[in-house]
Amino acid sequence: MGRKIFGTDGVRGKANTYPMTTEVALKLGAAAGRYFRHDSSKAHRVVIGKDTRLSGYMLENALTAGLTSTGMNVLLLGPIPTPAVGFLTRSMRADVGIMISASHNPHFDNGIKFFGPDGFKLSDQAEAEIETLLEGEIQPTQPQNIGRAKRIDDAVGRYAEYVKTTLSNHRGLDGIKVVIDCANGAAYRAAPEILWELGAEVIAIGVSPNGANINDNCGSTHPEMAAKMVIEQGADLGICLDGDADRIILIDEKGKVADGDQLMGLMAKRWADQGTLKGGALVATVMSNLGLERYLQGHGVNLIRTNVGDRYVVEAMRKGGYNLGGEQSGHIVMTDYATTGDGLMAGLQFMAAMAESGQRASDLVNCFETVPQMLKNVRYGVTDDPLANEMVQQAIRDGEDRLRANGRLLIRKSGTEPLIRVMGECEDQGLLDRVISDIVGAVENSI
């Protein structure tokens, strides 16, 4: 069963352009309501969260209209991190959770992600079944069964209290000075408050959302401002979240940026040493650096790779009974605590390691030497299919032959944007540069 509008992380696109229109959101809400409202004799509920994009207002209202028309009661959480939606879906006994966000994308994009009653993102099959309903005529409920909508004023507080319990046995974060960049996104309230309440000295940036500045030269995709602030303020570390706060990029006290691979390497070894790493393995994607794999092998930890997308990481974790996984981009999934990536929660785990060990951020986060890796993105039009072009295919084959002895290539379409992602790894930086340049040139010429 295929999916037409669902990608690797829900439905996503430019606001007011198909499929991110109020018309589609209205019908999508009705389709989801019909899918999850199995028993018409009892009340059903859905929680809806969003980030700080201006278009979130219109999509929230459209989804609410569609859901209530099929008899679902809607609980509106307001601006709140994606992992909070997963948590509150389960804790509030909702049938479904919805997050309105395009994560790290610019403000003019938006997206709709669905969570099941267990707080985990929906499977491909469930999304395909919702699409089948979407394509048909959705029967509304009887007038007496129309749902209600209610705003939950303390949603952020409920999530914050839970996050703090993940460090319940720890003495706190007293004495740690941290720069937190919230990307003008969903965690602009929660993240600084949680860090402060746990005892840290907090310098908050990216906490003035205006509907259009989310991820704008800030956050996990633009950590330069936070790195500069760490140096200027003499902070012990910096934490950069993305627009919906499900990913993290760390900055040490010297202003050096570390990606998700370094944090996963640290946590996997630490948990293995403590005897809490289930299955003796870390689950990551094909994008994770070869240096991470070598580092883990040296400490007796296996690396299990999946397709790109945190949902596929979580699926592999649940299937194999593992409790730690993530992506190089900064999604860190700890299923002992959360159902999806949680940037702030991962940052707290790192700060706890600093406090317990007495080591600096730079001593902890740079735990392995990376193999030279290069990633370049090429944007293409909606009518283009660069990977079907024979010249592009030949360039990829040639590149694979040249890197076969001491590297690897990964060429794929992004699941969230119209981009061809050209990634390679090789011990020989010069050879890597030439191979990636040749493939990128072939892709650009095909467009």
| Look-up of token digits 């004023």 | 153
Cα separations (Å) of 166 from 102, 230, 247, 258, 345? 27, 26, 17, 23, 8
Could you tell me if 236 and 346 are in contact, meaning their C-beta atoms sit under 8 angstroms apart?
no
Q: Is 170 exposed, middle or buried (0-12, 13-18, 19+ CB in 10 A)?
A: middle
E strands within 80-206?
96-100, 109-115, 149-151, 177-181, 201-205
Catalytic residue among 103, 220, 329, 446: 103
Could you tell me if 100 and 29 are in contact, meaning their C-beta atoms sit under 8 angstroms apart?
no
- Cα separation of 94 and 91, whole Å? 8
Q: Decide if 103 is catalytic.
A: yes
Cross-strand bridge partners of residue 266: none
| Look-up of token digits 């706890």 | 352
**How many other C-beta atoms lie within 10 A of the C-beta of residue 173?**
24
Whose CA is closest to 188, among 298, 53, 97, 52? 52
The amino acid occupying position 306 is T
**How many other C-beta atoms lie within 10 A of the C-beta of residue 93?**
9
| Look-up of token digits 């999806």 | 340
**DSSP designation for 140:** P
Residues with a known catalytic role: 103
